[in-house]
Amino acid sequence: MIEAGVKLAETRRRVRECEAFALQLKLGHDLKDGAILTSLTEQPFEMSFKCSRCGVTLWFEDKGSQRWRLHAESREHGAQICLGRPADDSSGQRLCGAVTSSVHR
């Protein structure tokens, strides 16, 4: 059971380091750990993260070799600025409209 926990922690780290996850943070989402889908091998192939600001759940999928991207069903929400983003966000970035160029297809 400990080994499964270590694998899960490593997988979460990899998802959090992927470009698609970083883009969601830039858009103002505050993503918290959510549901995980696994196959018979216990290796996650999809992971969700829920934004604590706007409530949207975004799914990330493993495209092989631990290369994670935003799942097709989450791309519409994932291309939007977080509706719960504070007006005085200290990130120093002003974002307008939808962002699509950095989302993997």
CB 29 within 8 A of CB 82: yes
Q: Taking the CA of residue 61 as centre, how many other CA atoms within 13 Å lie in the half-sphere pointing to its CB?
A: 10
In a domain, 67, yes or no: yes
pLDDT digits (tens, 9 = 90+) for 5-38: 888 888 899 999 999 999 999 999 999 998 888 7
Q: Which residues contact 23 (CB under 8 A, 6 or more apart)?
A: 78, 99, 102, 103
pTM: 0.74
38 beta partners? 44
What is the percent of the chain with per-residue pLDDT over 90, rounded to a whole number? 44
Q: Which residues contact 2 (CB under 8 A, 6 or more apart)?
A: none
In a domain, 86, yes or no: no
In a domain, 94, yes or no: no
> Which domain does 73 fall in, by range?
2-78
In a domain, 15, yes or no: yes
Count: domains in the chain: 1
pLDDT digits (tens, 9 = 90+) for 84-99: 877 665 554 444 444 4
CB 84 within 8 A of CB 55: yes
Average pLDDT, the chain: 80
